[in-house]
Chain A
């Protein structure tokens, strides 16, 4: 107590500095956390978040009885798994290629350009995708498919293509970002290792397999673990904007986040929607927490806490 008092007298300006940040966290993060009680209530506007009647786990029961519950969890998990595997493999390949490019000017240009897709919003991405896939005017339907002698495809009404389209769009947007992470690690590798390998007569391929890849190991593990921690969260923009909210695609584009948004704006069952959101937050919490503990074991520096 004495210590606290002494510290307060000396460093009250420090506490004053933190005040706006703490106030913001309370409003933006902690009040909504207390609002998760709505998942256990039969929400009505008049009674509000905290005073609507309690109904226990009924919202969860309703939620898991619907077909949607299975579909949104399946989609969220499978898409994220595909993103992690494909994204990581491609990013590592690009990082290694980038490192092998001799000309510094070329290296600089490649690095700058592949990051451009990362800079734009998902709304803009949806326009870019639309320019290729639009039914009437799209580049694919008007130019590519006729050139191949094929019929036009109504892309926004053909769910079978969308897993590939979404995986490709995600890869396109994130490739530069991810490869820069790996490239940064490669740049940090001690160059004398390569020199020694050359002296020993190792060819380029052997150097990549025996020096570069092993040096990337901990980065790969850490980034993958962190992505796995977030596997229950999906990129709302990718799944909502890019498919243009098309109803026929819903089975292959609906994830937990889009489900919650649609539930909030379109359905009357706020309680059930909140239950889906809480389910996501709770599982997400466990996953992020667990992945961080493992990351901390591997590399204390990289852990979040």
Chain B
């Protein structure tokens, strides 16, 4: 990804075309190693996907502890099922689907009242502006619809600030506060660098809904980072 600070406003920064670990040859090799009972390959896989799977599981279950159990069950499912994995989907979407099936069953047993489809509808259709309306001038002002107060940059080196350990720790917390489907879409797209198609396939979303959920999730994270930055400026 090109450093955002150096790209001009006209750079669309088209996202979602690169995908980490999607090299088919590598993936075939990994699958072969898993089938052959290669423990190192398995542990690598767990390391790579554990935290992501836990976040996706939280779409369906109430607690962190249950999410962890679901992830454990998923890994067992992966181990038992790898022999029969036909490679029609990519390994990662296959793993996420196993997880979603387990989590859904578990969520139903737990009596989670909101099914995934309702959660998705709620998160993508309820009124949820990227920026609160009071940040913009209203009809009585000089420039209706324009910023009330000019939006400032996050310091002289915003890229350094946003990728500092302190900011990233804060961001972790902000991601955990996102509604569950938005959180999963943001993590898959922006942290795992999955393509739109992969996310839609794994989570069963339409492209439009996927984009709306991504937009809302990213917008909330931006807002959280902005408050965090302003808090630091106020303290300094």
A and B associate: no
Residues of A within 8 A of B (CB): none
